[in-house]
A = this chain, B = another copy of it.
Amino acid sequence: MTTLPATIDRAACERLDAGDPLRAFRDRFLCDDDLVYLDGNSLGRIPRETPRRLATLLGDEWGRGLVRSWTSAGWMESPLRCGDAIAEIIGAGPGEVLVTDSTSVDLFKLAAAVMDARPRRRVLLTEHENFPTDRYIAGGVTELLGAGRMLRSVPRQEISAAIDDDTALLLLTHVDFRTGERFDMRALTDAAHAKGALVLWDLSHSTGAINVDLHAAGADLATGCGYKYLNGGPGAPAYLFVNTPLQSELRNPIRGWLGHESPFTYEPEYRGATGIRQWMSGSPPIIAIASLRVAVDIAREAGMQQLEDKAAQLTELFIRLSDERLAEHGFELATPRDASRRGAQVSLRHPSGYPVVRALIERSVVGDFRDPDICRFGLAPLYTRFVDVWDGVDRLDAVMRSGDFRREEFQSRVPIT
Residues of A near any B CB (own CB < 8 A)? 30, 32-33, 35, 37, 39, 42-43, 45-46, 50-51, 54-55, 58-59, 61-64, 66-71, 75-76, 101-105, 108, 112, 116, 128, 131-133, 135-137, 139-140, 144-147, 153, 225, 227, 233-238, 252-258, 260, 263-270, 281-289, 291, 361, 366, 368, 370-371, 414-415, 417
Whether the Cβ atoms of A137 and B286 lie closer than 8 Å is no
Known: A68-B366, A102-B256. 12 other contacts (CB 8 A): A30-B59, A43-B66, A51-B59, A67-B368, A75-B235, A102-B285, A105-B105, A108-B254, A146-B146, A225-B282, A237-B285, A287-B288
> Which residue of chain B lies nearest to A140 when distances are taken between CB atoms in the complex?
B255
- The distance in angstroms between the C-alpha atoms of A257 and B233, with both chains bound, is 19
- Scoring A139, A255, A368 by chain B CB atoms within 10 A of each residue's CB, the highest score goes to A255
CB distance from A102 to the nearest CB of B (A): 2
Whether the Cβ atoms of B281 and A291 lie closer than 8 Å is no
Task: Indicate which residue in B101, B287, B417 contacts A282 across the interface (CB closer than 8 Å).
Answer: B101
Whether the Cβ atoms of A287 and B255 lie closer than 8 Å is no
Given contacts A46-B63, A71-B414, A146-B147, contact A235 B136 (CB under 8 A): no
Task: Indicate which residue in B235, B265, B287, B288 contacts A371 across the interface (CB closer than 8 Å).
Answer: B265
- Scoring A235, A264, A288 by chain B CB atoms within 10 A of each residue's CB, the highest score goes to A235
Whether the Cβ atoms of A270 and B39 lie closer than 8 Å is no
Whether the Cβ atoms of B71 and A281 lie closer than 8 Å is no
Whether the Cβ atoms of A417 and B105 lie closer than 8 Å is no
Task: Indicate which residue in B68, B136, B257, B265 contacts A270 across the interface (CB closer than 8 Å).
Answer: B136
- Scoring A37, A268, A417 by chain B CB atoms within 10 A of each residue's CB, the highest score goes to A417
Residues of B within 8 A of A105 (CB): 101, 105, 254, 256, 281-282
> Which residue of chain B lies nearest to A413 when distances are taken between CB atoms in the complex?
B264
Residues of B within 8 A of A235 (CB): 75, 282-289
Given contacts A102-B281, A415-B264, contact A140 B68 (CB under 8 A): no
Whether the Cβ atoms of B140 and A253 lie closer than 8 Å is yes
Residues of B within 8 A of A252 (CB): 140
CB distance from A111 to the nearest CB of B (A): 10
Whether the Cβ atoms of A366 and B67 lie closer than 8 Å is yes
Residues of B within 8 A of A257 (CB): 104, 131-133, 136
Whether the Cβ atoms of B144 and A144 lie closer than 8 Å is yes
